Structure 1
Amino acid sequence: MPRFSVVIPVFKVEGYLRECLDSVLEQSFRDIELIVVNDCSPDSCGAIIDEYAARDERVKAVHLPENVGLGRARNTGLERARGDYVLFLDSDDSYLPGLLQALAARLDAVGDLDILAFDHVRTHWWGRGDRSKAADLIERAGTDVFRLKDRPEYLRLFLVAWNKAFRREFFLEQGFQYAPGLYEDAPVTFMAMVTAERIGCLNRVGVAYRQRRQGAITKTPGRKHFDIFTQYEGLFAFLAERPELVWAQSLLFERAVYHMLFALKRPERVRVADRREFFDRTSDFYAEHLPAGFTLPEGSTGVYMRALAKRSYRAYQATELAERVTKAGPSKVLKARTKVGKRAYAGMYTVQRRGSLDPNLAVYTSYWDRLPSCNPLAVFDKAKELAPEVHGVWVVREELADQVPDGIDHVLRDSRRYWEVMARARYFVNNVNFPDSIVKRPGQFHLQTHHGTPLKRMGIDQRGFPAAARGMDFDRLLARVDRWDLSVSSNQHSTRQWKRAYPGTYETLHAGYPRNDRYYRSSAEDVAAIRARLGIAPGKTALLYAPTHRDYRTDWTPSFDLARLAKALGDDFVLLVRTHYLYGRNPELSDLAEQGAVIDVSRHPVVEDLCLAADALIADYSSLTFDYANLDRPVVIYADDWKVYSQVRGVTFDLLSGRPGDTPGSVATTEDELVDTFRSGRWRGPEAATLRAAFRERFCQYDDGHAAERVVRRFFLGQDAEPATVPLAQRTPAPKPSLR
C-alpha cells in the first residue's frame, strides 16, 4: 500500500499535462501511486497518459467513456486509490520539488492527521507570484494539531481540493464525494474541515497554481457559475444531518455568502445580463440559511450582506460602485489609442466592417507579408482543390508585388482593397500574426499555422531573455493570440510550447505542417528537376547549410570557413548555403558563389526545394532541422555557440545532449570537428541513423503528406481533420537524390 495516492483528473490540458505528471513522478519521495483520470478529453491527453503509464508502473491510467466533469472524475480516482493519504492535483498545476517528502516527514513526526494542509503560489503568464493570503495562518500553525472548532480562523484556508493531503480512510468514512458542476471544491473542503479531529499545516509552498490566461472555467462567464448555489445547498443539507456541527453554522454561512459575493463581483464569472438574477439567488440563500444570532462581519462584506438581507440590488450596486471608486483613485484616466489604432478604426475600414461578411473570401499572408510561402501557401493550394468556392487573396509588401507568381490574387498592405478585404473576409490564414490594427469581427475565423517547431523560446517565454524580447509588447502579443481560432501543430512538443508561450482559447489541430507534405509527395523526377535548376551536377552529394538567426547579431557572418569545408569535402560534394531571411546580402558568400566554391541559395523562394535537393543538412538551431527530418536523411548539427545561444535566446530542450529524441545526428562544435565528421563518414554512420530515427519519432509525429488536407477540411469545410495520421513506419519519404 503506497503512502500517497495522487489523483489527477484530466480534460483539455495537453499543453500542461506533461509538466504536471513530471512534477509528481520526479518527487524525491517515491512511495506513491499516481491515478490519472482522462475525463474523455478530446485532445491528445489520453495518449499522453498511456505513454506515462507504459513507462512508470506507479501510474494508473483511467479512461472515462464520457465527460463527467472535474468532481466526478476525482471521485473515480478516489475509488481506485489505495494509499494511506490521498491528494488531488489539477492537471494544469504542478508540485514543487520536495513536497511529498516534506508531507511524509511531518506525518511521521506527529502521527496520523485527517488533513494536512500546505501552501501554494500562483503562477501567471508573466511570472510567479507570492505565497497565498493564508501563508500567515499556515506559518502560525507550526507543528500544532487541532480541530477547527478550536481554531476557526483556519476555515479561511484556500477552499480547494489540491492544497491538502487527506487521510483516505477518514475521507471514505465520512462519505465525501465531489458533486457535479462548478465550485465542487467548496462543500467537500468545508465538510472535511469541520469534521476532522486532527488537522495540521505544513509551512511549505507545495503547488504552483497556474493562472491560465484564458480557458479556465472560473474565468469563463456563463450560467455555469450558478452551480455555486446547488453546491452550497448540498453543504447545508450535510450540516442539517449533523446536529453536532451546529457550532459551525455561522462560520460556514459567512464563508458561503462571501464566496457568492466574490463570484458576483467578477465579470469573468457572472455576466452583466445575469447579475440581478445571481444577486436574487444569493438573497434567497441568505434568507433561507441565516443562522440564529448571526453577526454581520465588519467592512464591505458586512455592507454587502445588509443589501442581501434587504433584497436591495440598488444598495448592492451603490456599495460596489463606492468600492470601485475607492480602489481606482481620482487620477485614473483612459489611455489614448495609438496612431495605428486610430487609423484602423477610422474611415473606410470602419464602414466596411458594418457590411456583411463574404463567406467565400480568405486572406493569406506569410512572414510579415513576404511572398506566398510556407504553411499558408500549402493550405492555399490545397483549398483550391478541396474548397474551390473559397477565393484566396494574399497580402504582400509593395516592393515584392511584381514577384508574386501568376495566378495568385494579391493586395498591397494599407491599400484601399486591403482594408476592404480585411473587413469582409471570413477566413484569415497566417504563419505569424496580422497587425494590431485588424479587428476580428464575429463570424471571422483565424488559422495560425506557425512556421516551425520551437527549439528556441517563443512568445511570452521570451520575457526572461532580454535580447530576444527586445522591443516586444507582450500585452499586444496576447491580444493578437486572442484572435486565433485554430493553431496547427506537427508534434506534441510544439503543442506544449504553443500552449505555454501563447496562452489563449484557440483549439489545437494536430494535423502536421502542410508545407512538409512535399517531403512525402515528391517523386525522384521532382527531386532531379530541382537539383538541375539549382545547378547541382549529377552524382554530387549536396550539403545544405542553413543557419538560423541570432538575436545578438545584426548581420550574418559564417560560423566556419565555408571555402575550407568545401575544399576539404572535395569534388564529390557541393555546399549549398542559405542565410536566414532576416539578414541581408553577405559579400563573402557572394564572392564564394561567384568563384564556384559554394552555391548561394539564400534568395531561393522555396526552402522545401532546397531540402529535397540536399543529401544532408548542416544546421545549427534552425527549425528547418525538424522539417528536414521527415526526409530521413542525415543531419549534422554545427553548434559552436550553443552556450551563448541557449543563454541569450533560451531553448526548450538540449539539442546537444546526445539522448535519443534530442539530437538528430552527428554534432560538431568546432570547424575541425565538422570537417572530420564528413571525412570519417560519421555523418551517415549507424549511430547517426539511430539518433535520427528517435528524433523523427518525436518531432515528425503528424507529418505524413496529408497535413494540408486535414487543415482545409477542418478549417474551411468544418469537417473532421481527415485522413488519420499514417504511422511513421508506413510513411515513404521522397527518394534520396543520390546513392552515394
Structure 2
Amino acid sequence: MPSQPNSPRFSIVVPAHGVEAYVRDCLDSLLQQSFEDFEIIAVDDCSPDASGEIMDEYAAADPRVVSLRLPENVGLGRARNAGMAKASGTYLLFVDSDDTMLPGSLAAIDRRLAETGDPELLVFDYARTTWDGRTVRNTRAAVLSGASQPVVTLQDHPDLLALLQVAWNKAYRRDFVERWGLEFPPGYYEDTPWTYPVLFAAESIALLDRVCVHYRQRRQGSILHSTSRKHFDVIDQYERTFGFIDANPRFDSWRPRLYDLMRNHYRTVERSPGRLPAGDLEEFRTRSARSLAAHVPAGRQDAAAAPAGGGGRGGAATRARKLLRRAKKSAAPVKRPLRTAVLRTYYRIQRMLPIRDDLAVFAAYWNSGYACNPAAVHRKLLELAPGVRTVWVLKAGVRAELPRGTARVHPGSFAYWRAVARARYFVNNVNFGSSLVKRPGQVHLQTHHGTPLKRMGVDLAEYPTALGAMKLTDLMRRVDNWDYSLTANSYTTKIWDRSYPAAYEPLEYGYPRNDVLVTADRAAVTAARRALGLPEGATVILYAPTHRDYLGQLHFPVDLEQFVERLPAGHVVLARGHYYYQDGGAEQADATGKARLVDVSGHSDVEQLYLAADCLLTDYSSAMFDYANLDRPIVVYANDWELYRTTRGTYFDIHKLPPGPVVSTEDDLVRLFRSGEWDTEEHTQERARFRARFCEFDDGFAAERVVRRIFLGEEAVPPVVSLSDRPAPPRP
C-alpha cells in the first residue's frame, strides 16, 4: 500500500507514564534513525513525573514529534489507542518508552516492507537488555527465518504463535487495523487480545530477521513482576480474545492452539514467585480453572500438566553439587595473611553481639574526609539527638577536623570492624566496602553526592571507559544494603531508580549539604569571602570542572593562566580540581589573597566556596545543581561535549536545559565575561527554569528531615517549602 500524499510512512506511538529516566533515550533512538519519513506521537498518560514536559520539549524542537497530554491516567492500552487516533502514517509502530530502537531499524523495516509488497503485518526481532549490560537476543529468533516464502499467513507459518506476543515487535498497515476495528483494551495484559487477533486476521505477513528493538529488563519496577491482584486481568484478556473468535467463526480452527497458550500463560502467572498475593492464589486457581473449562476444545479433556522442572532427584543432585563445591573450597590451603584472618574472625564475633541503638557510622568520598551530605546530617544529628554516639571513618593520613566527641576510625582496623558490626545506623555518600555484612535491624542511608547529569550505576554498562574495572554485580550487592536513598529533586529520584535498581525507599528531602546555601545571610557570604582573603569588590569566578574518564587524570579544560590574563581587571578565579585528585593544577595564591588565580582544590568546604563566588564556571559537574540554589549566574564551558557524552553518557543535553550560557571555545568564554553577557535577563530566565527543576526539595531543612525520620523515627517531618516561598540568598 503506497503512502498517501503528505502522510508519513510510519506513525510511531510512544506511550509514557512515570518514565522520566528513560523517555529521552527512547525518543533519541527514534529521532536519530537514518530513515526520516515518520511521525512520533508521544502520549503522556498523565505521568506523575516530568515525562510529559520532556515530550513537549522534544515536540517543540522537532516537527516530527507530536506531544499528546492525556488529562487522566488511562493505562498503556488506551494510551496507545489515543496515539493511534492521531496517526496518519501508512504503518503503525508501537515503542514502549523505556525501550529503544536500534540504529538503522526503520530503514530495514521500510526496505523489507517494500520488498514484500507492503503486507498488512511485518514481524521483526528484539533483544533483551539487562541492568548489568548483557544483551540477549530472542531465543526463538529462528521463527523469523524459517518461513517457506517471503509473505505468509499464520496458517502457513503457525510458529509465529511461539514468539513473545507483544505489540512492539511488529509494524501494522494502518488500513488493516482500521478495517478490523482493532483497539487495545484496558488492563495489565492488554497485548493479549491485540496480538492474537492481529495474527489470526492478517492475510499477508512479512518477517524481518533483524533485532530492531532493545527490550529493557529492569531489575526493579516491572509491572509483570509486581505483587498485585491486577494479575487476575490475564483471565479477562483471554476471554476477550476468545470473544474475537466467537465474533469471527472463520478463525475457529485456532481455538485449540489459543487454549494451550492460555493454559500455559495461567500457569506462568500462578507459579511466578511474588506475582500474586499469597492470600489470592487459591482464588486465581479457581477462576483460571473456570476459564479453562469454558474453552476446552471439542474432543479434548482438560488435565493438569506435571509441575515444570525436575523432581526430587534433580533437587538432590543440585544440593550434592553445592556441597561438593563447598568441600573443595574448604580444603583449599589457607593463603590469607594472619592479620586478615584474625580481623575477619574478630568481625564475625562482634556480629554475634547485640546491635547498639545509640551508635551511628558515617563516611564520605571513600573515607577521604569530613564533607558533603553525611557531614551535614552528622552536624544536625549532634544538635537534635546528642545521645547518639557517632563514628567517622577516615583513611590513615587524612587530616579532618571532626566535631567534638566524634570518634575517628581507620578502615580495616579493629575499631572499624567493631563499629560496623554493632552500629544501628550507617550514613555514606558512596558505598561501604563489599566486606561489610549488613545485619538484620541495621539501617543504611545513602545520601549520594550530587544530582546526576552524567550516567551512573548500572547505566555505565554501555560505557566501558567510564565503567573501568567496576563490576556491576558487586555494585548492586552493595546497593541492596540501602534502606533509604536521598534525593534533591524528583528527577533524581527517577534516575536513582534507574541507575541503582533496588528495594530501598527514596527520601525526597533535599540534600543536607545545600542547607547552608539556602539559609545563608549577608554575614555568611561576607565571612566566606573574608576567609579566602578575596579583595573587596572583586568579581569572583569559581571554576569547578568535572572528572573525565577518557583522560584519567586531573584536567582543567581552560588554560587558566591565559584565561585570567584576558579577563577584565577586578576578576579573580578560584580553581577547584575534582575530588578524585588531591593536588590542584592551578597556581597557589599568596597569603594576602591578592592573586587573580587561586587554587582551592584542597579547600575542605566547597559550600563556602559557593557562597564566596559571584559566578560558577563549570562543565558537566553536579556542582551546577547545588550552586543553582544561590540563584547566581552559572556558565557552562562544554568544549568536549560530544566526546564526553560518547565516553561517559548523559541523561539530558545541557544545551537544551541549560542553567545559563553554554559555550564551547575559550574565545567565546572570554567574550562572555568581558562583555557582561554572563549575567543577562535571558540567562536569569534559563536559571529560573533550571532551579525549578533541580532545586525542588532544597529548602534549608533537608538535614532536619533526615535526622527526624531516620534517627528519631518521626514520620511527620517538616514539609518542603516551595521555591517561591524561599528567601532569595544574597549575592556577594
C-alpha distance in 1 between matches for 2:394 and 2:459? 29
- 8 A Cα contact 1:365 1:429, kept in partner: yes
Q: How does 1:549-560 map to 2 (within 5 A)?
A: 549=547, 556=554
C-alpha distance in 2 between matches for 1:559 and 1:472? 26
Of 226, 234, 257, 1:251 maps to 257
Q: Mark the CA change 1:380 to 1:172 in structure 2 (over 3 Å): closer, same or farther.
A: farther
Q: Mark the CA change 1:310 to 1:90 in structure 2 (over 3 Å): closer, same or farther.
A: closer
C-alpha distance in 2 between matches for 1:200 and 1:554? 49
C-alpha distance in 1 between matches for 2:623 and 2:673? 23
Q: CA deviation at 1:75?
A: 4.5
The amino acid of 1:366's aligned partner reads: A
C-alpha distance in 2 between matches for 1:484 and 1:12? 23
Name 2:695's counterpart in structure 1.
703
Q: CA deviation at 1:477?
A: 0.7
Q: CA deviation at 1:276?
A: 9.2
Q: Mark the CA change 1:228 to 1:604 in structure 2 (over 3 Å): closer, same or farther.
A: same
Q: CA deviation at 1:469?
A: 3.2
Q: Mark the CA change 1:533 to 1:123 in structure 2 (over 3 Å): closer, same or farther.
A: same
C-alpha distance in 2 between matches for 1:429 and 1:14? 28
Of 292, 303, 306, 1:309 maps to 303
Matched, 1:451 2:449: yes
The amino acid of 1:709's aligned partner reads: F
Residues 333-368 of structure 1, C-alpha deviation per residue, up to 9 Å, x if partnerless?
469799899669822224436xxx95x976543223
Matched, 1:677 2:670: yes
Q: Mark the CA change 1:6 to 1:572 in structure 2 (over 3 Å): closer, same or farther.
A: closer
C-alpha distance in 2 between matches for 1:590 and 1:87? 60
Name 1:42's counterpart in structure 2.
48
Q: CA deviation at 1:610?
A: 1.0
C-alpha distance in 1 between matches for 2:105 and 2:649? 28
Q: Mark the CA change 1:318 to 1:620 in structure 2 (over 3 Å): closer, same or farther.
A: closer
Give SS of 2:168's match: coil
Q: Mark the CA change 1:45 to 1:443 in structure 2 (over 3 Å): closer, same or farther.
A: farther
Q: Mark the CA change 1:681 to 1:84 in structure 2 (over 3 Å): closer, same or farther.
A: closer
- 8 A Cα contact 2:540 2:571, kept in partner: yes
Matched, 1:189 2:186: no
Q: How does 1:90-109 map to 2 (within 5 A)?
A: 90-100=96-106, 103=109
C-alpha distance in 2 between matches for 1:633 and 1:521? 15
Give SS of 2:241's match: helix
Name 1:146's counterpart in structure 2.
152
Q: How does 1:546-625 map to 2 (within 5 A)?
A: 546-549=544-547, 556=554, 572-585=570-583, 589=587, 597=595, 599-619=598-618, 621-625=620-624
- 8 A Cα contact 1:432 1:448, kept in partner: yes
Give SS of 1:42's match: coil
Matched, 1:723 2:720: yes
- 8 A Cα contact 1:53 1:61, kept in partner: no
- 8 A Cα contact 1:94 1:207, kept in partner: yes
Q: Mark the CA change 1:84 to 1:165 in structure 2 (over 3 Å): closer, same or farther.
A: same
C-alpha distance in 1 between matches for 2:291 and 2:319? 29
Give SS of 1:231's match: helix
Q: Mark the CA change 1:123 to 1:466 in structure 2 (over 3 Å): closer, same or farther.
A: closer
Q: Mark the CA change 1:682 to 1:651 in structure 2 (over 3 Å): closer, same or farther.
A: farther
Pick which of 104-113 and 531-540 moved more.
104-113
The amino acid of 1:736's aligned partner reads: R
Aligned positions, number: 707
Give SS of 1:403's match: coil
- 8 A Cα contact 2:535 2:594, kept in partner: no
The amino acid of 1:251's aligned partner reads: R
C-alpha distance in 2 between matches for 1:348 and 1:548? 40
Residues 91-130 of structure 1, C-alpha deviation per residue, up to 9 Å, x if partnerless?
2112334545555565566566443222222222344635
Q: Mark the CA change 1:712 to 1:246 in structure 2 (over 3 Å): closer, same or farther.
A: farther
The amino acid of 1:34's aligned partner reads: I
Matched, 1:217 2:209: no
Give SS of 2:723's match: coil
Q: How does 1:459-538 map to 2 (within 5 A)?
A: 459-463=457-461, 466=464, 468-484=466-482, 486-490=484-488, 498-506=496-504, 512-538=510-536
Pick which of 703-712 and 557-566 moved more.
557-566
Q: CA deviation at 1:212?
A: 1.5
- 8 A Cα contact 1:516 1:627, kept in partner: yes
Give SS of 1:346's match: helix
C-alpha distance in 1 between matches for 2:155 and 2:675? 72
C-alpha distance in 2 between matches for 1:367 and 1:593? 29
The amino acid of 1:735's aligned partner reads: P
Residues 118-163 of structure 1, C-alpha deviation per residue, up to 9 Å, x if partnerless?
2222222344635423433323449733321232222223211111
Give SS of 2:670's match: helix
Name 2:3's counterpart in structure 1.
none
C-alpha distance in 1 between matches for 2:458 and 2:103? 24
Of 391, 395, 399, 2:392 maps to 395
Give SS of 2:540's match: strand
The amino acid of 2:693's aligned partner reads: Q
- 8 A Cα contact 1:711 1:721, kept in partner: no
Name 2:626's counterpart in structure 1.
627
- 8 A Cα contact 1:36 1:61, kept in partner: yes
Of 127, 149, 160, 1:121 maps to 127
Q: Mark the CA change 1:62 to 1:324 in structure 2 (over 3 Å): closer, same or farther.
A: farther
Extract unaligned runs of 5+ from structure 2: 1-6, 331-335
Q: Mark the CA change 1:637 to 1:114 in structure 2 (over 3 Å): closer, same or farther.
A: closer
Extract unaligned runs of 5+ from structure 1: 296-307
Matched, 1:348 2:350: yes
C-alpha distance in 2 between matches for 1:256 and 1:550? 52
Give SS of 2:150's match: coil
- 8 A Cα contact 2:480 2:503, kept in partner: yes
Q: CA deviation at 1:90?
A: 1.8
C-alpha distance in 2 between matches for 1:219 and 1:272? 14
Q: CA deviation at 1:611?
A: 1.6
Q: CA deviation at 1:652?
A: 5.8
Residues 414-439 of structure 1, C-alpha deviation per residue, up to 9 Å, x if partnerless?
67886677567776543212333445
C-alpha distance in 1 between matches for 2:158 and 2:314? 31
C-alpha distance in 2 between matches for 1:565 and 1:47? 38
The amino acid of 1:161's aligned partner reads: A
Of 10, 16, 19, 2:22 maps to 16
**TM-score (ref. length: structure 1):** 0.77
Q: Mark the CA change 1:376 to 1:463 in structure 2 (over 3 Å): closer, same or farther.
A: same
The amino acid of 2:392's aligned partner reads: V
Residues 640-668 of structure 1, C-alpha deviation per residue, up to 9 Å, x if partnerless?
8878866665666677xxx4645854757
C-alpha distance in 2 between matches for 1:288 and 1:332? 50
Q: CA deviation at 1:625?
A: 3.9
Name 1:430's counterpart in structure 2.
428
C-alpha distance in 1 between matches for 2:115 and 2:320? 48
Q: Mark the CA change 1:415 to 1:329 in structure 2 (over 3 Å): closer, same or farther.
A: closer
**TM-score (ref. length: structure 2):** 0.78
Q: Mark the CA change 1:93 to 1:426 in structure 2 (over 3 Å): closer, same or farther.
A: farther
Q: How does 1:276-315 map to 2 (within 5 A)?
A: 289-292=295-298, 309=303
Name 1:298's counterpart in structure 2.
none
Q: Mark the CA change 1:147 to 1:570 in structure 2 (over 3 Å): closer, same or farther.
A: closer
Give SS of 2:214's match: strand
C-alpha distance in 1 between matches for 2:389 and 2:76? 42
Give SS of 1:246's match: helix
C-alpha distance in 2 between matches for 1:133 and 1:628? 49
Give SS of 2:207's match: strand
Q: CA deviation at 1:607?
A: 0.5
Give SS of 1:309's match: coil
- 8 A Cα contact 2:625 2:694, kept in partner: no
Name 2:373's counterpart in structure 1.
375
Name 1:304's counterpart in structure 2.
none
Q: CA deviation at 1:382?
A: 6.0
Q: CA deviation at 1:530?
A: 1.5
Q: Mark the CA change 1:228 to 1:391 in structure 2 (over 3 Å): closer, same or farther.
A: farther
Give SS of 1:15's match: coil
- 8 A Cα contact 2:567 2:674, kept in partner: no
**How large is the RMSD of aligned CA atoms in angstroms?**
5.0
Name 2:540's counterpart in structure 1.
542
Q: Mark the CA change 1:644 to 1:198 in structure 2 (over 3 Å): closer, same or farther.
A: closer
Q: How does 1:646-657 map to 2 (within 5 A)?
A: none
